[in-house]
Structure 1
């Protein structure tokens, strides 16, 4: 049955290889069960509920990907988007987390409609390729900055805006220990390095009194604190009607999800040898349909946008070639659901190093930018630098797309097919004026 459904022999694999590949991918990305609740809980969402929602969204999302698209791609709530959800939308804009979940659901619905209508190809084609890389790296700097702040390594300073914190505090000591542990394990190519580092740092945190071991309770009961709490009606009423606030939030969730998936798909499918001879990705619509459905499921459960994980490449390296790998990952996440309440016992100092090093790994995309071309380099730099320094992915996108359009227009390099890029640039200019008056 598995052979017929997934076409194992045609891809040169077997059940045992696919199961081992799924286990490998799961171990390398299981840190999200700890890190995602640590970020989203700062909105006031219960830690155990978010942990359970994370497991549920990752489980169903990965299984959908395997069954619908037959790709070895695992899904889970995305890093960067969870930070945008927490620090920009909820804490920065003052949007209740229930309304923010409503925006996540709407972005997933929009993604689904755009995929079914074939509009996604037009959107992907309109955005300059250098900005793909710059957004990924900017999000990396964003979450690394948050990690350094949570670790107490970077603190606010009235004289210099930011400064070095007290590295002798228990929080900083545990965070630095975790940072060293994860870095060394990654250097030794140990699978699950991030998860192992978090667990060891947690033990050190317990020893220093940063947190206590909490008794496990039924995670399914805990899930009720966030499940179906999304407020879609409230999303439409942001700042009085269907205004720029809701459109901006949904656009960022949609945009980053779309391009995060495109980048992951290209990298993983190329590594697995699953691309067509012309470089296209077979069954792309099915992949995007699975992703958009997973985001809506995640929002209903109580977590931020669900995306394809680049850690899927570790499973491909282990031999995974079909959707059975993704199904195995999904089943493991669902099994983890029953241990989700234990996440409450993990101190922030133990998860901060994961944010820092995941952010560091995202910087590698900058090599794809032609830094010798000012029309590409300047918008890419503005995108890269404004995301972490303004604590907003939306601001980075706005600066990058607007500056790219202006440079192309004033240097006479604009093309007839760039009309959508110009429309986006005009909308972002309107956004800047709106924010200035607000």
Structure 2
């Protein structure tokens, strides 16, 4: 009976897979993604959110979203709070703009609503078509540098320097030394193709931190209901009261959450679908609307649970490499995330010295798309460089995206290559220029 139900739901035979293979693939995907249960609370905790609650919310959101993706879209694509977007949430929206974290969660929720509307109305195709592939790659690479930069800062490997803005920290101090050890462990295990390299590195570094007194067990007793600290704490109404002193307010914040989630999802989807053989000769992916709809719903559900934007994870490719071809892989991954909720509140035990090297590793791996940029062609190289450089250097994903799109539109006009079909690109560029003018006058 169980075998027939699985076959009917996931079409295992049609996809050339089996239940055993899918389960192993799901476990593999989980092991490659599990670091987010520790890293996400470390980042969002710096926004003032309760760490134990965020850890539980991360497990809940990742678990339910992955299961929904597996059941609704039947693809081996797992979801969790996205790297880069959690950093934007904390360091730009909350710390720089001064937006309270419940209101920031409201922005995440509204971005999910916008994503859902764009998907159902077909407008998302217009947005995707307006942005050239080299900017798509540059945004991904810039976010990678942003994440890596935050990791280096958290580790104390780079520090503020009044003469040069940044400088090298004291590497023999406890936090930098411990972080470098963790980075070395993760790097070596990755060279040996250990699936859980990042997770093992975090665990070993945390153990050493505990033994040397750099961290300690939580003083509060274990409570599974710790998630109450973030669950349903989003403030959607407060989003519409954001003042001019908090950046450009609602539109910019929601736009960045939406824009990055959209392209992160599409890029991950293409990469995983190609590897899984789920894309036809014309580059079409069956059930694309169901996949994107699920992603939008996941973003909204994550905000309700109490975490930044939930999106598709490229680590899903590890499960595909292990043989995953159906949604059963994603369901297994989701169930493992839900099981992890039982220990999630202990995430506060993990020090920054343990999560910082994970950020550095993930940031480095996110640079791969930059190989798609034709760096010998100024038409691509200059807008791509502005995007890549300004995201980490201005500590803002929005600034990098704005500079890149504006520069690309300018070059299109200057070269005479602008066509009527580029109207949406030019509109976006004009809005970004107006944004910079407004910020300069404020």
Quote the residue 1:406 is aligned against: 410
- How far apart, CA to CA, are the structure 2 residues paired with 1:399 and 1:217? 48
Quote the residue 1:208 is aligned against: 212
Quote the residue 1:174 is aligned against: 178
Quote the residue 2:30 is aligned against: 26
3-state DSSP class of the match of 1:386? Answer: helix
Q: What TM-score, normalized by structure 1, do the two folds share?
A: 0.98
Structure 2 residue 270 is matched with structure 1 residue 266: yes
Quote the residue 2:119 is aligned against: 115
The partner residue of 1:58 within 53, 59, 62 is 62
Conserved? CA contact 1:219–1:337, under 8 Å: no
The partner residue of 1:373 within 357, 372, 377 is 377
Conserved? CA contact 1:236–1:242, under 8 Å: no
- How far apart, CA to CA, are the structure 2 residues paired with 1:361 and 1:106? 29
Report deviation, 1:207.
2.0
Question: CA 1:271–1:217 in structure 2 vs 1: closer, same or farther (change >3 Å)?
Answer: farther
- How far apart, CA to CA, are the structure 2 residues paired with 1:319 and 1:433? 51
Report deviation, 1:244.
3.3
Bigger mean CA offset, 174-183 vs 274-283: 274-283
Conserved? CA contact 1:219–1:340, under 8 Å: no
The partner residue of 1:144 within 137, 145, 148 is 148
Quote the residue 1:197 is aligned against: 201
1:22-63 alpha-carbon deviations (Å, 9 max, x no partner): 000000000000000000000110000000000011001100
- How far apart, CA to CA, are the structure 2 residues paired with 1:330 and 1:215? 30
Quote the residue 1:275 is aligned against: 279
Quote the residue 1:159 is aligned against: 163
Structure 2 residue 114 is matched with structure 1 residue 105: no
Give the 4+ runs in structure 1 shifted more than 3 A.
215-220, 240-244
Report deviation, 1:173.
1.0
- How far apart, CA to CA, are the structure 1 residues paired with 2:441 and 2:304? 34
- How far apart, CA to CA, are the structure 2 residues paired with 1:244 and 1:83? 19
The partner residue of 1:308 within 294, 299, 312 is 312
The partner residue of 2:235 within 210, 231, 237 is 231
Quote the residue 2:132 is aligned against: 128
Report deviation, 1:219.
4.8
Quote the residue 1:358 is aligned against: 362
3-state DSSP class of the match of 2:171? Answer: coil
Quote the residue 2:427 is aligned against: 423
Conserved? CA contact 1:52–1:219, under 8 Å: no
Gaps of 5+ in 2: none
3-state DSSP class of the match of 1:156? Answer: strand
Structure 2 residue 99 is matched with structure 1 residue 95: yes
Gaps of 5+ in 1: none
Q: What TM-score, normalized by structure 2, do the two folds share?
A: 0.97
1:362-397 alpha-carbon deviations (Å, 9 max, x no partner): 111111011122111100000000000000000000
Quote the residue 2:13 is aligned against: 9
Quote the residue 1:244 is aligned against: 248
Quote the residue 1:391 is aligned against: 395
Quote the residue 2:290 is aligned against: 286
Conserved? CA contact 1:170–1:208, under 8 Å: no
Report deviation, 1:240.
6.2
Report deviation, 1:241.
12
1:88-117 alpha-carbon deviations (Å, 9 max, x no partner): 000010000010000000000000011011
Conserved? CA contact 1:37–1:47, under 8 Å: yes
Conserved? CA contact 1:55–1:336, under 8 Å: yes
Give RMSD over aligned pairs: 1.3
3-state DSSP class of the match of 1:9? Answer: coil
3-state DSSP class of the match of 1:307? Answer: strand
3-state DSSP class of the match of 1:162? Answer: strand
The partner residue of 1:82 within 81, 86, 93 is 86
The partner residue of 1:186 within 179, 185, 190 is 190
